[in-house]
Copies of this chain bind each other. A is one copy, B any other.
Amino acid sequence: MTSRGEFQRLADLGPHLAGSSPAVPVGVGDDAAVVRVGAQDVVVCVDVIVDGVHFRTDLSSPADVGWKAVAVNVSDLAAMGAIPQAAVVGLQRSPELTEDAIDQLYAGMAEAGREWGVAIVGGDTVTAPVWSVSLTAIGRPAAASITRGGARPGDRLVLVGPLGAAAAALWADGEGLPVPDDLLAAHRRPRALPSSGVALARAGATAMIDLSDGLGADAGHVARASGVDLRIDRTAVMAAVPSTVVDLLPEDLLARVALGGGEDFALLAAVPADRVDACEAALTETAEAPWRWIGTVEPPADPSTPAVWLDTPAGPPERIDAWGYDHG
């Protein structure tokens, strides 16, 4: 739920925010927080999407926006290995958001909620000059909660889900090109992968994140939180880019858009060597999305600057943790 740009701000706000403690097993700075309620760990996250910043009403219907508000939060829960359960909605309605549009917005939320088992249990609707949805989701850990900080040298990196489709859609639209239907669908109705996140948590993943900011930037979060370098194989990871994206994008932009464009809601996880077979079996059984091994976790070359390296067939590795999109 924290975007890259606010990471430093969160650090600055340290005294005001809850770090980890017995009452808060996972505090500020991960995809979601974990709060102990009675004897139960509860996973909670929030994402805000604003008209003109995170969606455009010429590309997305109100129902699409409702779907997306749920999907981005389910994706955060997935990255913790949590099972989604419920959500509350803070809706800011502007004059152009009609009653009918609000009905469609909620219908889209309910549709995504049915897809992933999220009950929309309440909300607060207020008037505002620009419309936006702030959605908070809660869930429960399927096993241990998986943070960004558990990756260890020797772990392998698994990627679940495709890369680059939503970013390619926005690129094409920006260039005035027709946007292929499958890419537009990836932008309008992103697929969260909660079953995959749960499967990986149960099978023993050590760290996990969802790729809302792009593979490069989000892998960078894991590298820094874990104090490790991540090495990603270019050939392996580019196999996760759909052929529509490959056909559409100029070759010199392809890797940058696919690995840095964000809004993928794919999952990246670190898996110890002795859990690789278990994770493969779990992901195969889940069958929620294609998955592939894309790299390894290594000790940091420079311990003061954990980094993400893209290994290319020819030439030196390229550092990619500064790639990525900072969402508003």
Chain A residues packing against B (C-beta within 8 Å): 1-3, 6, 9, 12-13, 15-18, 21, 23-24, 27-30, 32-33, 35, 37-40, 42, 44-50, 53-54, 85-86, 88-92, 99, 102-103, 106-107, 109-110, 119-130, 132, 134, 136, 138-140, 327-328
A23 — which chain B residues lie within 8 A by C-beta? Answer: 85-86, 119
A120 — which chain B residues lie within 8 A by C-beta? Answer: 16-18, 28
A328 — which chain B residues lie within 8 A by C-beta? Answer: 126-128
Interface contact B3-A124, CB-CB below 8 Å: yes
CA distance A37 to B87 in the complex (A): 12
Taking a contact as CB atoms closer than 8 A, the residue among B6, B40, B126 that contacts A50 in the complex is: B126
A40 — which chain B residues lie within 8 A by C-beta? Answer: 37-40, 42
Give me the 6 closest cross-chain CB pairs, A-B, nearest first.
Answer: A90-B134, A134-B134, A40-B40, A33-B121, A18-B119, A16-B110
Interface contact A88-B130, CB-CB below 8 Å: no
Given contacts A1-B123, A18-B119, A128-B130, contact A138 B50 (CB under 8 A): no
Taking a contact as CB atoms closer than 8 A, the residue among B37, B106, B126 that contacts A48 in the complex is: B126
Given contacts A9-B99, A124-B47, contact A37 B90 (CB under 8 A): no
Interface contact B106-A17, CB-CB below 8 Å: yes
Given contacts A110-B16, A121-B27, contact A92 B44 (CB under 8 A): no
Interface contact B122-A32, CB-CB below 8 Å: yes
Interface contact B13-A46, CB-CB below 8 Å: no
Interface contact B35-A86, CB-CB below 8 Å: yes
CA distance A107 to B14 in the complex (A): 10
Taking a contact as CB atoms closer than 8 A, the residue among B24, B110, B129 that contacts A17 in the complex is: B110
